[in-house]
Amino acid sequence: MFNKIFGYFKYRKLIKDNIDVITNRYNLKYDKMYGRLYTIISIPERKQEVLRNYKMPAKLNNPVDTDVKSFLNYEVNNYVAAIEEYFYNVGLFEFISISRMDNVDDVNVLLVLRYKFKNYQLLLYIFIGLIGFILGTIITASFIKLLLILINFIFSL
């Protein structure tokens, strides 16, 4: 359990060490607050025109499923395979998973990646918050005690 909790620190350190490659090569944005990576995968305008002009059903049984959707799925799968290979090479693969993959519209997909053990991430924040609260209480009590000693010293003069 502690490995999963403190693995979050390793996850953030690996992202911090590789942020240039992650943002430039793979066009992922990093949300520091929630520790997630996200991007929008889209089909370029010229490809969209070609696919719409030569629209054919991908399956004859389901004419709603067009070449645009199948091409977008192909692009998303290739993108995910490429980033998974990179994450495996830098040691991030065991800490990261796909959190969301939603279609924004016909030609755009939102891809969100985050720490695999996000429930343990919440425990980590609670643990750190409790330690901060305890330390804050100890420091405040020590400060008040010091003030009382100083006040008693001043009145004894």
> What pLDDT digit, counting tens, does each position of 5-64 carry?
677 778 888 888 988 988 899 889 988 887 788 898 887 777 777 766 665 555 545 544
Are 94 and 154 found together in one domain? no
Are 109 and 124 found together in one domain? no
Are 36 and 101 found together in one domain? yes
Are 33 and 84 found together in one domain? yes
Are 73 and 9 found together in one domain? yes
Are 153 and 124 found together in one domain? yes
- The pLDDT of residue 120: 65
Q: What is the spatial distance between Cα 66 and Cα 48, in angstroms, rounded to a whole number? A: 12
Are 112 and 128 found together in one domain? no
Instruction: Report how many helices (DSSP H) and strands (DSSP E) the chain contains, helices first.
Output: 5, 6
Are 137 and 71 found together in one domain? no
- The pLDDT of residue 98: 85
Of residues 79 and 46, more confidently modeled: 79
Of residues 89 and 45, more confidently modeled: 89
Are 110 and 132 found together in one domain? no
Question: Taking a C-beta distance cutoff of 8 angstroms, is the pair 121, 35 a contact?
Answer: yes
Section 99-123 average pLDDT: 80
Q: What is the spatial distance between Cα 12 and Cα 18, in angstroms, rounded to a whole number? A: 10
For residue 83, is pLDDT > 70? yes
CA–CA–CA angle 23, 27, 33 (5° rounding): 60
Are 55 and 22 found together in one domain? yes
Amino acid in the structure at residue 66: T
The residue written with tokens 């889209």 in the block is 42
Under 8 Å CB-to-CB from 66, ≥6 apart: which residues?
Answer: 51, 55, 56, 57, 58
What is this structure's pTM? Answer: 0.63
Question: Taking a C-beta distance cutoff of 8 angstroms, is the pair 113, 98 a contact?
Answer: yes
pLDDT tens digits along 117-139: 766 667 777 888 889 999 999 99
Q: Would you state the torsion angle of the CA atoms of residues 87, 93, 99, 100, taken in this order, to the nearest 10 degrees?
A: 40
- The pLDDT of residue 121: 64
Are 16 and 47 found together in one domain? yes
102: containing domain = 2-116
